[in-house]
Amino acid sequence: MGRGKHHNVYVIELSKDVLFEAKFKRCNPNYRSGKPCVYVGMTGLDPDLRFDKHKAGIQSNRYVKQYGLRLLPDLYEGFNPMSYAEAVEKEIEIGIDLRSAGLGVWQA
C-alpha cells in the first residue's frame, strides 16, 4: 500500500427503524419500500475499526450509532485502499449509485 493510498470507503447497513427519522426520510424522497438503508463513509482507518468507533460513540454518526447493523463489504471492498481525493469522490459516487437504485442513503 503506497503512502498516499491508505483511505477507505465503507458502507454500513442501517436498521429500517431509521426510516422513522424525519430528516433521514426527507433526504431520501426516492426511497423504494423494502430496499436497505445504508450509511456511506470514508476513513483513513480500517472499515471494521471505524464501524466499531461509530458504535462506541467515538466521532460517530448518530444514525450509525443508533441504527448501524453491519458493514456491507461487497459494496466497497474492491475500491480500497485509495488516496484521500479518490476516497472523497468514491464516497459521493457510491452514495449516488445506491440512491439511484432506491436505497435509503445517509452521508456525513
pLDDT digits (tens, 9 = 90+) for 66-105: 999 999 999 999 999 999 999 999 999 999 999 999 999 9
Q: Is there a domain that residue 21 lies in?
A: no
pLDDT at 108 over 90: no
Strand intervals (E) in 1-101: 8-14, 37-43, 68-71
Q: Is there a domain that residue 40 lies in?
A: no
Domain interval for residue 76 = 62-108
Q: Is there a domain that residue 94 lies in?
A: yes
Q: Is there a domain that residue 66 lies in?
A: yes
Structural domain count of the chain: 1
Q: Is there a domain that residue 101 lies in?
A: yes
Q: Which residue has the cell 433521514?
A: 24
C-alpha cell, 2: 503506497
Degrees to nearest 5, angle at CA 102 with 98 and 108? 45
Cis peptide bond N-terminal to 47, omega within 30: no
Q: Is there a domain that residue 73 lies in?
A: yes
Q: Is there a domain that residue 72 lies in?
A: yes
Q: Is there a domain that residue 100 lies in?
A: yes
pTM over 0.75: yes
Distance, in Å, from the CA atom of 81 to the CA atom of 83, rounded to the nearest integer, reads 7
